[in-house]
Amino acid sequence: MGKPNSYENILEIKNLQTSFFTKDLELKAVDGVSFTIPKQKTLGVVGESGSGKSITSLSILRLIEEPGKIVGGEILFKGENLLKKKESEMRNIRGNEISMIFQEPMTSLNPTLTIGEQIGESFRIHQGLSKKEALKKSVEMLELVGIPSPKKRVKQYPYELSGGMRQRVMIAIALACNPNLLIADEPTTALDVTIQAQILDLIKNLQEQLGMGVLLITHDLGVVAESCDVVAVMYCGQVVEYADVKTLFKEPKHPYTIGLMKSIPPHDQDIEGDLEVIKGAVPSPAEMPTGCRFAPRCPFATELCKTKMPELQTDENGNQIRCWMHTDEWDGVKDREVTVHG
């Protein structure tokens, strides 16, 4: 779009903090998250629900609503801090340079507007097109995302489309203005398995065609393995492990990551067998442990883990880990065998 090319990373988040405020409590939903998405690459953010993934993505677009608030950090998009932008400047970025697709295609489209009106709105806002031109472009977009007979579809209402179709429409809306960054928040969770693969392929193909960065939020490591370049594993509002996808799958370091991996069924087996699942549940934000947040559920946790929060350590390759086991202060059993798919 003719903007200076002085940045290396499409998105750089530094120490992002987003909290929700109740009468007398501050709940830190995102607590010091940092990560980077290089140009045209895909970053996967993985974690259970409640880990702060979705809040992180909404923070990037500054769509956090009361009583939530971004309280600290930087969000550098193409080198510029989004948190310093005016609301009107943010509006020019939303749906134009950064787009987002959501988990629930069934409820994410406006039931009283036609498909064409909803896709065309992006063109009208950001490119100032007329109603007619916008409709024409909408037809093209529907074609791009692989919806048959698009000329008929633009005149229809969402209730006339299936879930998979609606998610394609969401993608069409998101990609309408050729964004530099696409945030996909669990784009396939609500869909059938066969449709899931189609949608992921579609996103991947379009990424190559359009050359955008993608932030893919998911709880499904299988999806990560197939689509991502770099992965951030989040737990309770923090990044606990951050690595390129090969390293992560070859040598997962954090016990939480290992736990997540053990809970994916191997491809060649039926899901009926015992999947190893991480015991316990994510602690509620109001009762966050003082030490490592994963300690209450961690099979390796020691007194140190329970009392003191580990720092995020960065190795020579730039991979990061937040775990006492990988520090010199570790006071537990050192050479414990850690296996995946054991």
Partner 1 sequence: MIQYIVRRILQTIPVLIGVSILVFSMMHLVPGDPAQIMAGESAPQEQVDNLRERLGLNDPLPVQYFTYVSNVVQGDLGNSIRSGRDVGDEIGSRFWVTVELAFYSTILAVFIGIIAGVISATKRNSFADTGIMIVALFGLSMPNFWLGLMLIQWFAIGMDLPSWIPFLENTSWFKPSGWGSFSQIVLPVITLGTGSAAIIARMTRSSMLDVIGQDYIRTARAKGVKERIVIYRHALKNALIPVVTVVGLQFGGLLGGAVLTETVFAINGMGRLVIDSISARDFPVVQGTILVTALLFVFVNLLVDIAYKFLNKRIDLD
Q: Looking at 2-10, 93-101, 278-286, 301-309, which segment touches partner 1 (CB under 8 A)?
A: 93-101
Q: Among 109-117, 147-155, 209-217, 309-317, which window interacts with partner 1 (CB under 8 A)? A: 109-117
| Nearest-approach distance from CB 205 to partner 1, in angstroms | 22
Stretch that binds partner 1, among 87-95, 210-218, 274-282, 318-326 (CB under 8 A): 87-95
Contact predicate 15/74, CB 8 Å? yes
Options 15, 81, 92, 284; binder of partner 1; rule CB under 8 A: 92
Distance CA(169)–CA(115), nearest Å, equals 7
Contact set for partner 1, span 16-35 (CB under 8 A): none
Question: For residues 189 and 46, is the Cβ–Cβ distance under 8 A?
Answer: no
Which position among 100, 221, 243, 325 is part of the footprint of partner 1 (CB under 8 A)? 100
Contact predicate 307/290, CB 8 Å: yes
Q: Which residue type, as a one-letter code, is found at position 194?
A: T
- Alpha-carbon distances, residue 83 vs 69, 94, 172, 220 (angstroms): 11, 13, 27, 30
What does the alpha-carbon distance between residue 44 and residue 26 come to, in Å, rounded to a whole number? Answer: 28
Task: State which of positions 167-186 bind partner 1 (CB under 8 A).
Answer: 170, 173
Maximum separation of any 2 CA atoms in the chain, in Å: 69
Which of residues 7, 157, 300, 330 is near partner 1 by CB under 8 A?
157
The one segment of 117-125, 287-295, 305-313, 317-325 that binds partner 1 by CB under 8 A: 117-125
Nearer to partner 1, 60 or 139 (CB): 60
> Of the two residues 83 and 197, which places its CB atom closer to partner 1 in the complex?
83
**Does position 110 bind partner 1 by CB under 8 A?**
yes
Judged by beta carbon, residue 7 or residue 157, the one nearer partner 1 is: 157
Residue at token pair 């069934």? 106
Min separation Cβ 116 and partner 1, Å: 14
Which contiguous run of DSSP H or E holds residue 34? strand 26-38
Name the burial class of residue 38, with classes exposed (0-12), middle (13-18) and buried (19+) by CB atoms within 10 angstroms of its CB.
Answer: middle
* Kind and range of the H or E run holding 238: strand 238-244
Residue 95's SS3 state is coil
> By CB under 8 A, is residue 80 in contact with partner 1?
no
Contact stretch for partner 1 (CB under 8 A) within 134-142, 155-163, 264-272, 292-300? 155-163
Nearest to 279 by CA among 297, 258, 259, 254: 297
Provide the binding-site residues for partner 1, judged by CB under 8 A.
61, 63, 91-96, 99-100, 102, 104, 106-113, 121-122, 125-126, 157-159, 170, 173
